[in-house]
Amino acid sequence: MNWDISESQDLSACHALRREVFIEEQGIAEPDEWDDLDGRAQHLLATVGGVPVGTARLLTDGSIGKIGRICVVKSQRGTGLGAALVRAGIDRLSAMPGIETIRLGAQQHAIGFYEKLGFAVCGPVYDDAGIPHRDVERPA
């Protein structure tokens, strides 16, 4: 597809996408979406013709790389962009010294999507902002 996925310092674009998908579409409360981790995260921004259409953020915790806040606008769902964002996150985290495992908190309905990308369930079901999640991970 014709996306450009790159690291971005444009937090306003990333936040606008997260607001649209998580707060407006999924009904997640604002205090559950915004945290103090954005300042130390790397942010991936996917664009088509310069228009933001997806984002994800990358964090590290010791030997674990974490991909989170993955979202794609409705018009781009089913195009492979979500998988491309996850693969871009895997590539960037795997290139970091000391990262051995890549983990993310998957909405339960999306576990099959992540399994196709090499992730395996590694924890029980838990509630995150009113949505059932499970942690999944894969080697870096």
pLDDT score recorded for residue 61: 96
Q: What's the rounded mean pLDDT across residues 85-114?
A: 97
What is the tens place of the pLDDT at every residue in 30-59?
999 999 999 999 999 999 999 999 999 999
Contact (CB, 8 A) for 86 and 67: yes
Contact (CB, 8 A) for 58 and 44: yes
pLDDT score recorded for residue 2: 84
**Neighbour-count burial for 47-68, b at 16+ CB within 10 Å, e otherwise:** bbeeebbbbbbbbeeeebbbbe
Q: How confident is the model at residue 82 (pLDDT cuts 50, 70, 90)?
A: very high
Range of the domain at 76: 4-139
* Whether residue 116 has pLDDT greater than 90: yes
The model's pTM? 0.94
pLDDT score recorded for residue 110: 94
Residue 25's identity, in one-letter code, is E
Q: Which long-range contacts (CB under 8 A, 24 or more apart) does 34-38 make?
A: 38/11, 38/14
Q: How confident is the model at residue 15 (pLDDT cuts 50, 70, 90)?
A: very high
* Whether residue 103 has pLDDT greater than 80: yes
Burial (0-12, 13-18, 19+ Cβ within 10 Å), 89? buried
Q: How many domains does the chain have?
A: 1
pLDDT score recorded for residue 1: 66
User: Which CATH number is 102's domain given?
Assistant: 3.40.630.30
